[in-house]
Structure 1
Amino acid sequence: MKYLLSAAVTGLLLVGPQGAFAGPIENACVRSDRAQATRALCRCIDSVAQSALTRSEQRRAARFFSDPDEAQRVRMSKTARDNEFWDRYRAFGASAEQYCAGR
């Protein structure tokens, strides 16, 4: 058991703290050109995304950082799938704004 724990810690050190458990939203946020996108804020937003969106939806939402026009296309879409996703995405955004304010 002690060896397993030691190996896990060594693995985390090799990966580095900033990328070890970053989700798609955090990665996209950090890579964005937004001045307010601090690592702490991006990590907070990602933690809200993990509780509000499926992993697939997180990857989809992460693309909005690099392609804001895609967000507009989804928002304006007439398909039920896109409308349902947009409703969850908006709820996620409101939760993230409330929970992560001031970070």
Structure 2
Amino acid sequence: MKFLTNTALVLALAAPLSVMSAPSAEAGSTIERACLKSNRRAASKPLCDCIQRVADQMLTRKEQKMAAKFFTDPHRAQEIRQSDRAGHEEFWKRYKAFGQSAGNICQ
């Protein structure tokens, strides 16, 4: 049951919510902080830290900041996902891949 709860949290936090370059090892803990501040029961320091480590490997600092905002403004995720801007489309592809990876790794 804990596995399912953690997997659901990872997917909710890291994957699309309706759903740019090289990774940044110095990205800090933007995603981790947003994860811990979320009001999801399964959010824990180890899980959120794992999600952050995946984010550090797959998303730039700028992308992490954008993704972290989805925790407090889920509608923004929909706006980005449905945007016609090429930059948003590229971000969304990386964000989906990040969510899938985090879901597989952070269980």
Report the TM-score, using the length of structure 1 for normalisation: 0.76
Which portions of structure 1, spanning 4 or more consecutive aligned residues, are displaced by more than 6 angstroms?
none
Unaligned runs of 5+ in 1: 1-20
Unaligned runs of 5+ in 2: 1-26
Question: Bigger relative contact order, structure 1 or 2, given CA contacts below 8 A and separation 6+?
Answer: 2
How many residue pairs are counted as aligned between the two chains? 81
> For 1:40-80, what per-residue CA distance to the aligned partner results, in whole angstroms no more than 9, with x for missing partners?
11000000000000011011100001111000110111110
Instruction: Calculate percent identity across the aligned residue pairs.
Output: 49
Asked whether 1:80 is paired with 2:86, we answer yes
Which residue number corresponds to residue 27 of structure 1?
Answer: 33
Report the TM-score, using the length of structure 2 for normalisation: 0.73
SS in 2 for 1:89: helix
Which residue number corresponds to residue 38 of structure 1?
Answer: 44
Which residue number corresponds to residue 92 of structure 1?
Answer: 98
Give 1 or 2 for the bigger CA radius of gyration: 1
